[in-house]
Every structure is written in C-alpha cells, then in structure tokens.
C-alpha cells in the first residue's frame, strides 16, 4: 500500500501533477485513487470532465479510467455522515450568540472538518485494502500542515483532555443550563468525537511510515514560491513525514530563445541551482512549461510521461527518517531533520513524556520513548540541517538505584 501527497504553494500545478501521477499508476496496473484534499476542488477540471457526470455521486468515488478513481470530498455530505451531533451543537451555540440560524449552520463547519473527513476516507480504504495507491492532491501549504497535524492533535486531545471535559460537562450541565441560556454539549456530541477518533485510529502511524507515505513537493523556479517550498519542507519534517522528491514545474524550455524571455530564463536557472543545493540529496525532478494548458487525459498523460519516463511513480525515491534516536556514552540524542532553520526560530521544552518543538508558528508534540521520557534535555544545537537534542545521562543516584535493583 502506498500513499503519496502532493503539496506546495497554491497555483504551482499540484493538481495537474497529482492527476497525471494517478494516470501513470493506473496504466501500470495499480488500483489507484486520486483524492482532493483542497477545499477548492479542481480534479474534475484537470480531467476535463463534465461536472454533470459527478453530480449523482457528489463527494463519492468516480471511476474515470480503468484502475483509476477520483474523489472530491463534499463537506456538507460528510456532516450528515460523521459530524451530525458536533455540527448540531456548534450551530446551536452560534445561534445563541445572535446569528441567524442559516448563517450559524454555515459557520458551524469549523476548520479541520474537511481534512478529518479526508483522513477518515483514507483510513477506511486502508482498512478495506480497496486501493493499492492513494494519491492526495493537498491544499496550499498552510492547510496541508493542518491536514497532517490533525491526527497528532486529536490523539493528544483524546488522551489529555477529552475524558475530563466529558465528565465535567455531564456534572455541571444541569446547573449551568438553569443559570444561562448558552448550551453545553450533550453527551452525544462527545460520543460523536469518540467515534471519529476511533475511525481515525492508526492513521498517525501510517502518515509517518516512509515505506507507506511520502510527500512530493511541487514548486516553481521563483523566489517567493521557493521560500514557501522550504517552509513546507521544514514543517513536514517537523511532523515526521518523509519527502521523497521535489518537482520543479513550469521551467522554460530551451527551445524558447526569444529575447523577451531572457530575464525569466536567467532567474529560473539561478533558482533551479538553489533548489538542487538546498534539497540535496532529495531527488529533484523537472517539468517544462508546456505549449498549452494541461487539461484533459491526453495532456495529463503527456505530463506523466515527461515527469516519470520509465520510473514507477509508486516507488519510494528517498526514505531517510526525519527522527533518529541514539545512545552514546550513557547519553541519548534525538536528531530531528529541520533544514533551512535558524537557531532563533526554534523553541524547545519538555513536559512529562512529551518534547514540544516550536518552529515559527507551528508546534509539534513529540512523544518520547519510555526510556528517554525520564531524561531532561541538556542542550540542543542545529547541525547539518538537523536539530540535535542531547538528554542528560543517568546521575550517580540513578545508577546506584539501578545496581541495587539488580
């Protein structure tokens, strides 16, 4: 089973590359699903399908070629399937604040619902063994990071807060509702959250398994886009995911020699050299700017042939784990791959068995192995594109206790 995420800044060509990859996989005989995780779905447009073909199965699987299905998740349909009690409570809460009932129902679709719905489908298909490869056409970088962080965040919430919150709500609800008109969530709302969590169980491990899941970053040879690609690389590494290729899209072909494009060509060559330097040893794949928009199956097949040639898109092309734990001279070190980061961008602290790493506006809770959880971080430094954290070794008292126990 393989999961391939295509991510990057909006407008770089992720959807076209994801759709072309799906076609290449299907042609090789893989049962393939291309799923859109972007709220602004455009898979149907990329395949140049008549929207009427999909309306009867809005949000459902649609077969477009032998061995190839696409799916654009529809959040309104998913509310009926997975979020009924949660959505009902959020609507009632917003309606109490004075919002019109229809407006309250629209606003009750809170951030993360669509991403979780996509993950629920992915986990369902994994359990069923329905597809051999799932290709995810991700939203622009910020939303993609929310997508991959949701399993860890939900797991943390369920382990640390959920049970207490549910008990407190049950105890105080009768008294609270007699004093104020603001509703507290019913137990059915908590049961709904628990059901969603159960359906997601295990997806967090799948996403960080480089043998199953890898990310392919799509970029353009432009300064602003490359900065965003670097940030995406950092944050995917922070969340323990493996990038197995960087795809540079829309490179001016060498046959274009018009003087009007000289400035563009020179800047593209400069930024392509930067990409190769920054992301080494991750494979760099190049795609030219085609002479027409990439639209429809024939154009997508042409793109796939240019991108992959004889390569199998399902292969893992780079599999270095972004987390490594070692023990040297009685001290543990945790190495987290974080390229392009400056020391003043990293904040680090430990709480019980968790190491909290913050880079810019993004935070990751790293659950430490049981043995490592008993040690405090002693120092941290950036070294060759990685954050290396050294933990204190056993002190004399710990060693004496260990010897006495034996």
If asked whether residues 301 and 327 sit together in one domain, one would say: no
Q: Provide the pairing of β-strand 323-328 with 331-337.
A: antiparallel
Last residue within a domain, chosen from 280, 308, 336: 308
If asked whether residues 298 and 394 sit together in one domain, one would say: no
Question: What string of DSSP letters covers 323-362?
Answer: EEEEEETTEEEEEEE-TT--GGGEEEEEETTEEEEEETTE
Q: Is 361 exposed, middle or buried (0-12, 13-18, 19+ CB in 10 A)?
A: exposed
pLDDT per position as a tens digit, 179-223: 656 667 778 888 888 888 888 899 989 999 999 999 999 999 999
If asked whether residues 73 and 195 sit together in one domain, one would say: yes
Banded pLDDT at 18 (limits 50, 70, 90): very high
290 within a domain of the structure (yes/no): yes
If asked whether residues 286 and 338 sit together in one domain, one would say: no
Contacts of 215 (CB under 8 A, 6+ apart): 4, 5, 6, 7, 236, 241, 242, 243, 244
If asked whether residues 239 and 368 sit together in one domain, one would say: no
Last residue within a domain, chosen from 308, 339, 360: 308
HEC sequence for 253-303: CCCCCCHHHHHHHHHHHHHHHHHHHHHCCCCEEEEECCCCCCCCHHHHHHH
If asked whether residues 186 and 146 sit together in one domain, one would say: yes
pTM of the full predicted structure? 0.80
CATH number at residue 144: 3.40.50.300
Specify the higher pLDDT residue, 96 or 326. 326
Contacts of 267 (CB under 8 A, 6+ apart): 221, 222
Total number of residues shown for the chain: 406
DSSP state, residue 162: I
Q: What are phi and psi of 128, to 5 degrees?
A: -80, -20
Cis (ω within 30 of 0) for the bond into 281? Answer: yes
313 within a domain of the structure (yes/no): no
Task: List C-alpha distances in Å: 18 to 14, 72, 73.
Answer: 6, 13, 16
If asked whether residues 260 and 380 sit together in one domain, one would say: no
If asked whether residues 203 and 350 sit together in one domain, one would say: no
Q: Which domain holds residue 337?
A: 323-405
Instruction: Tell me the mean pLDDT in the region 292-320.
Output: 96
318 within a domain of the structure (yes/no): no
pLDDT per position as a tens digit, 139-174: 887 677 777 888 877 887 788 778 877 787 777 766
Instruction: Tell me the mean pLDDT in the region 18-22.
Output: 98
Last residue within a domain, chosen from 308, 343, 368: 308
If asked whether residues 108 and 132 sit together in one domain, one would say: yes
Q: Quote the CA–CA distance of 67 and 143 in Å, as a whole number.
A: 29
């Amino acid at each position: 089973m393989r999961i391939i995420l295509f991510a990057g800044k909006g407008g770089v060509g992720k959807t076209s590359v994801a759709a072309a990859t799906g076609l290449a996989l299907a042609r090789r005989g893989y049962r393939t699903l291309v799923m859109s995780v972007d709220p602004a779905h455009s898979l149907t447009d990329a395949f140049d399908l008549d929207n009427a073909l999909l309306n009867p199965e809005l949000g459902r699987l649609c077969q477009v070629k032998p061995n190839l299905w696409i799916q654009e998740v529809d959040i309104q349909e998913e509310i009926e399937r997975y979020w009924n009690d949660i959505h009902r409570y959020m609507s009632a809460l917003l309606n109490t604040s004075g919002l019109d009932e229809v407006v309250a129902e629209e606003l009750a679709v809170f951030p993360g619902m669509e991403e979780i719905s996509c993950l629920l489908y992915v986990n369902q298909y994994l359990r069923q063994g329905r597809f051999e490869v799932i290709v995810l056409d991700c939203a622009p970088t910020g939303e993609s990071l929310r997508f991959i962080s949701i399993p860890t965040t939900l797991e943390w919430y369920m382990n640390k807060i959920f049970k207490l919150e549910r008990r407190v709500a049950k105890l105080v609800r009768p008294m609270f509702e007699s004093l104020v008109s603001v509703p507290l969530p019913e137990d059915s709302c908590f049961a709904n959250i628990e059901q969603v969590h159960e359906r997601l169980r295990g997806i967090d491990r799948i996403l960080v398994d480089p043998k199953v899941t890898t990310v392919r970053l799509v970029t353009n040879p432009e300064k602003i886009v490359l900065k965003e690609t670097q940030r995406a690389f950092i944050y995917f590494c922070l969340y323990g995911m493996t990038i197995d290729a960087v795809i540079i899209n829309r490179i001016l072909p060498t046959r274009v020699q018009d003087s009007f494009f000289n400035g563009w060509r020179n800047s593209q060559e400069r930024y392509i050299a930067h990409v190769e330097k920054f992301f080494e040893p991750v494979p760099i794949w190049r795609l030219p700017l085609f002479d027409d928009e990439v639209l429809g199956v024939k154009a997508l097949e042409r793109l796939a042939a240019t991108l992959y040639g004889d390569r199998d898109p399902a292969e893992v092309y780079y599999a270095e784990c972004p987390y490594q734990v070692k023990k040297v001279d009685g001290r543990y070190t945790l190495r987290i791959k974080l390229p392009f980061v400056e020391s003043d961008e990293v904040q680090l602290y430990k709480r019980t068995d968790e190491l909290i790493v913050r880079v810019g506006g993004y935070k990751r809770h790293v659950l430490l192995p049981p043995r490592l959880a008993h040690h405090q971080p002693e120092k941290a430094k950036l070294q060759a594109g990685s954050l290396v954290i050294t933990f204190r070794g056993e002190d004399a008292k710990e060693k004496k206790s260990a010897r006495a126990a034996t």
